Structure 1
Amino acid sequence: MGNRSAVLLQPEEVAEIQNDTGFSPSQIIRLYSRFHNLDKNNSGYLTRENLLGIPELAINPLGDRIVHSFFQEGDDEETLNFRQFMRTLAHFRPYRKSKDADHNLNSREEKLRFAFRMYDLDGDGLISREELLAVLHMMVGANISEDQLGSIADRTIAEADKDGDRAISFTEFCECMERVDVEQKMSIRFLH
């Protein structure tokens, strides 16, 4: 079946996806095969349910948020085509300065934008206390008391909020993440 999937992907498409995402042709073909294995209806599109069927996402406390991020570009679309799938995965490619100058999907800024969207639940460009609390709940469940979670959220907002609007903007988020090795922490090794 992997070979059948690879045949359906034309060399021009592989080259375009490579130029857009920075993935190697062999990575694109492998991910194309994976995409089609996830596409249970052979529709050429994935749904949220298809992605939530990935065991690693199903057990991840932020699995829902990660899956949601795949659909950001589609303007609330409920399906995801292969190019959209590849553009989202490109955020997780390790960044190499010499090799990735033309592929900014895996740059530090784009990785931070992706991470920011995990917290910005309503998509308004700000992380409110309520959104931060909701994500903390997803991450720790009932392992921490409401008071402790509230304290963490309040402290985080107080430290990050530079303009006094009681929310965290993308710029403020980036400032907070200045010392974090985002390039390393948000990278997945894709096989060649």
Structure 2
Amino acid sequence: MGSRGSHAARIPDADSIRRETGFSQASLLRLYHRFRALDRNKKGYLSRMDLQQIGALAVNPLGDRIIDSFFPDGNLRVDFPGFVRVLAHFRPVDDDDSSMRDPKEPEPLNSRMNKLRFAFQLYDLDRDGKISRHEMLQVLRLMVGVQVTEEQLESIADRTVQEADEDGDGAVSFLEFTKSLEKMDIEQKMSIRILK
């Protein structure tokens, strides 16, 4: 009886979580320990306040938006499977992931398309399926703070929306968003190395 096996047994539904997220047993165990450390009151779930303890999110200009992604549909708590599901979007893509994937299985959470969906929802503040000029401006304000004038920010937002907006409706759809980022290495830029 190794200690690793006995620890993993305490993770509820570990096998199904691993299949869904692609995390290794060791990574899942590390994330479980992190989840439990964040859950200081041992409630079995995390609140927004628990996630705000994460230093990297506290200094990230999009930290609040990322924290929001843990609480879809107005939920006030996230359990361990939900916590891991969100983090799976940041799992690096292994070269052998796509070649071994069964096409009948759902697309992995860390696929390019799912990483793009996750990024899109950080901008789509009202969740209407489009990024408006106003939403782009709000996110830009979060990202650059006071380092840029309001006029410069408005100019950047206008130009960004205008360049991506192919159908001329004044907003960026998910399809337009993906096209505008087709040359960007999203798989690597949206990866956290420790999340294997």
TM-score (norm 2): 0.90
Please give the residue correspondences for 1:60-139 in structure 2 after superposition, counting only pairs within 5 Å: 60-72=60-72, 75-100=73-98, 101=101, 104-139=108-143
Unaligned runs of 5+ in 1: none
Please give the residue correspondences for 1:16-31 in structure 2 after superposition, counting only pairs within 5 Å: 16-31=16-31
Q: Which has the higher contact order (CA 8 A, sep 6+)?
A: 2
**Secondary structure, aligned partner of 1:141:** helix
1:173 aligns with 2:173: no
Q: Work out the CA distance in 1 between the residues paired with 2:58 and 2:193.
A: 20
Q: Work out the CA distance in 1 between the residues paired with 2:164 and 2:37.
A: 42
- Superposed CA RMSD in Å reads 1.8
TM-superposition CA deviations, 1:2-52 (whole Å, max 9, x none): x89755325xx2211111110011111110010000002111100111111
Q: Work out the CA distance in 2 between the residues paired with 1:122 and 1:5.
A: 41
TM-score (norm 1): 0.92
What is the percent sequence identity of the aligned residues?
A: 53
**Secondary structure, aligned partner of 1:28:** helix
Unaligned runs of 5+ in 2: none
Q: Work out the CA distance in 2 between the residues paired with 1:189 and 1:127.
A: 29
Amino acid at match of 1:121: L
> Runs in 1 of length 4+ with deviation above 6 angstroms?
none
Alignment length (residue pairs): 187
Amino acid at match of 2:108: N
Task: State the partner residue of 1:156.
Answer: 160
Q: Work out the CA distance in 1 between the residues paired with 2:127 and 2:195.
A: 33
From 8, 11, 21, the equivalent of 1:9 is 11
